[in-house]
Amino acid sequence: MKNSFYLLIASFAVISACKTTKETSTTTTTNTTEVKADCGSAAYSYAADIKPIFNQNCNGCHGPVKLRGALDFTIDEVLYAQAKSGKLVCAIRQEKGCAAMPAYNPKLPDETIKKIECWVNSGMAQ
Ligand code: HEC
């Protein structure tokens, strides 16, 4: 009897833990990488800072010509959706759970990764 009481408490704890996780994941748009970049007061914009990085490093494979991974980053909605889902930062940081990018090329320099990450975390200004 005592055991089933503990079991009941334990299952309740598991259920509420799941509920909490679900709630936070639907309400937050920031990425969930373990270590966040220290962005300070840096403010980046898509047009001035991010687009040139993508044109140079990504859009040769992720554009209208080569639609690798079915992702065309010259379309803003596509890029923003990948950023919001956390896939973008995951890919350039080459973490587990996503494809390491840029494919077949050296990892982006730390400063560039940080720039993209800070842009994503600060709300992706145009
Ligand atoms: C040489 C070609 C190539 C280059 C350059 C490249 N990618 Fe990719 N990318 C791919 C391919 C192929 C896939 C699909 C891989 C897969 O699903 O395993 C992909 C998938 C992705 C994904 C989805 C990952 C996932 O797990 O869902 C993201 C995000 C991404 N690329 C971002 C980038 C970014 C950002 C850059 C530039 C820094 C970049 N890629 C450069 C070929 C490339």
User: For the segment 43-92, what is each residue's pLDDT rounded down to a tens digit?
Assistant: 899 999 999 999 999 999 999 999 999 999 999 999 999 999 999 999 99
The protein residue with its alpha carbon nearest to ligand 1, atom 1, reads: 103
Residue 89 Cβ inside 6 Å of ligand 1? The answer reads no
Q: How far is CA 71 from CA 12, 20, 23, 27, in A?
A: 41, 32, 28, 25
Residue nearest to atom 17 of ligand 1 (CA): 69
Give dist(CA 84, CA 121) in Å, integer.
Answer: 9
pLDDT at residue 38, rounded to an integer:
85
pLDDT of residue 49: 97
Tell me the per-residue pLDDT of 87-111, one tens digit each, with 9 for 90 and over: 999 999 999 999 999 999 999 999 9
Residue for token pair 């969930």: 32
Q: Return the pLDDT at 5.
A: 52
Listed by start position, the domains of the chain span: 31-121
CA 2 to ligand 1 centroid distance, Å: 54
Burial track 104-120 (b if 16+ CB lie within 10 A, e otherwise): eeeebeeebbbbbbbbb
Helices and strands of the chain, counted as H and E runs: 5, 0
In this prediction, residue 40 carries a pLDDT of: 85
- pTM score over 0.85: no
Confidence of residue 24 (pLDDT cuts 50, 70, 90): very low
Residue 67 Cα to ligand 1 middle (Å)? 10
In the reported structure, the alpha carbon of residue 5 is separated from the centroid of ligand 1 by a whole-number distance in angstroms of 50
